[in-house]
Amino acid sequence: MVSVKHAALAASVAALLAGCQANGDIYRSDVYSAGQVNQAQQVQTVQIIAIQPARVAVNNSSDRGTNQLLGTVIGGILGGVIGHSIDSGTGTTVGAIAGGALGAAGASYASPQDALVNGVQITFKMNGRIFNSAQVGQLCEFKLGPAIMTSTSPTSTRIQPNNPYGCQK
């Protein structure tokens, strides 16, 4: 019989695993890799004419691997404890193996390959043409009007937040 204490521990672990997902911050337009620091980048002024919400799928594989390892260890411990309470001989071993397998499977399920994070679709005018760009960020960080776009390649559009204090309550 599983005790209330064991059930509470399992629920806490599940909640912890569900919270370990990529937040997408490394994909924000105002985040730069070490190789981009102290480098000249072409900058243009653009006119934001529309802003809409978007969802961006970001890779969650590193968090998923960590969660699987954590799920295996915690599942093995819980399975061993539960198995030991049933049969102190082989029950401990069987419970630990089964718990570890179930813990890894549960962690995989709780941590999808891709995580959806908040983003924005920015429609902007540049050189008389209209473009659209998806960015990781929040609606409140952008407003209609002029904005700076930094280009690290011919196809990149890193539109910098033009309302940086707009998210404060």
| pLDDT(145) > 60 | yes
**Number of helices (H), then strands (E), in the chain:** 3, 5
The answer to whether residue 169 is domain-embedded is: yes
Pairwise CA distance, residues 30 & 136, whole Å: 10
pLDDT number for residue 24: 74
Q: What is the pTM of this model?
A: 0.55
The answer to whether residue 95 is domain-embedded is: no
Domain tally, the chain:
1
The answer to whether residue 145 is domain-embedded is: yes
The answer to whether residue 44 is domain-embedded is: yes
The answer to whether residue 71 is domain-embedded is: no
The answer to whether residue 11 is domain-embedded is: no
The answer to whether residue 33 is domain-embedded is: yes
The answer to whether residue 99 is domain-embedded is: no
Range of the domain at 53: 27-59+115-169
Per-residue pLDDT tens over the stretch 1-60 = 455 455 445 545 544 444 444 667 777 777 777 877 888 888 899 999 999 999 988 876
User: For residues 43 and 102, which has the higher predicted lDDT (pLDDT)?
Assistant: 43
Q: What is the mean pLDDT of the chain?
A: 74
